[in-house]
Amino acid sequence: MSLSEVAIGPVRLHTLPQDADWYRQRRQFEEMASGLYRLLAQEHFRNFIDVGANSGMVSVFARRSAPDLRIVAIEADQRLVEIIPGNFALNGLNEPELIHAIASAKTDAGGSFSLNPKSTLDNRVAMDGWAKVSVPQIALDDLFKDRGIEGKTFLKVDTQGHEKHVLEGFATTMRSRSDWIIKMEFAPMWLKSQGTDPAELARSLSADYLVAEYPERIAYNYPAVSTLLSHTISPDQAEHFVSYVESLDRNGRGWVDLVVAPRSWRPKGLRSGLKALFG
């Protein structure tokens, strides 16, 4: 398999050639330098679950800043699964636990995955006209139970519109535990392509949990992970929030990341949305 090597500051990564230019963009340098990974180490997170790991870039960043993290990387594209261990070795890091699967609503040996003909960065679970491969599915509830994942856990979920199904497979753990926090992509166009109503997803999540837009960058000296939840979204704002997100790029292609956490994570003395600004 032909690979390209890219450098993101001190980090080197092997990628498929069609993906290399994306890794050279400023956004990846910002991610590498993000204060998030420092905070995960300072706040003694025990686990980092990378759902939709692609080449393993984000897991590599997490391992560099927090060497003691237990990292579980889940990736559905076999080509990328083969790349990930080498990217850790390339940077002198211990490998993660690696799972070749689709994170979804239930554990099933017979899942199907669609390969984007132009870039692995936009592979999707279901897409007409793309090549399909058979990949097992795993529910995060089962993963946590079977692998004994305990303690403070950060989950990064980037599945090109499949996020609702990932969360459905994590629902029991989300309800029963309060030691987790999720950073997940929220891209209305991609969610719709996978059969999800983005407004309903935003509404249901914000009804049960704290939900906030993840900042474009975590500012220098950001004080705590919980501060990411300073300006939360309420269920009645769901429709307007989706319209706002869609407006962030041409033709409704805008997207953001969300932070989702149990209500016990709310920073003390901070309130939701405009109330936090104007009382």
Residue-wise pLDDT tens digits, 48-84: 999 999 999 999 999 999 999 999 999 999 999 999 9
In the predicted model, what is the mean pLDDT of residues 110-125?
95
Give me the domains of the chain, ranges plus CATH numbers. 35-278 (3.40.50.150)
> Of 93, 70, 73, which is closest to residue 12 (Cα–Cα)?
93
* Cβ contact 210:265 at 8 Å: yes
Q: What is the pLDDT of residues 127-151, one digit of tens each?
A: 999 999 999 999 999 999 999 999 9
Pairing type for strands 11-15 and 4-8 reads antiparallel
d(CA 261, CA 146): 23
> Is the distance from CB of 66 to CB of 48 less than 8 angstroms?
yes
pLDDT of residue 276: 41
pLDDT tens string 177-212:
999 999 999 999 999 999 999 999 999 999 999 999
The Cβ of residue 248 has, within 10 Å, a number of other Cβ atoms equal to 12
pTM of the model: 0.94
Q: How far apart are alpha carbons 113 and 125 in whole angstroms?
A: 4
Give the containing element (helix H, strand E) for 57.
helix 57-65
How many angstroms separate the Cα of 45 from the Cα of each of 102, 123, 190, 216, 278?
Answer: 24, 29, 30, 22, 34
DSSP structure string for 146-197? HTT--SSEEEEE--TT-HHHHHHTTHHHHHH--SEEEEEEE-HHHHHHTT--
Contacts of 92 (CB under 8 A, 6+ apart): none
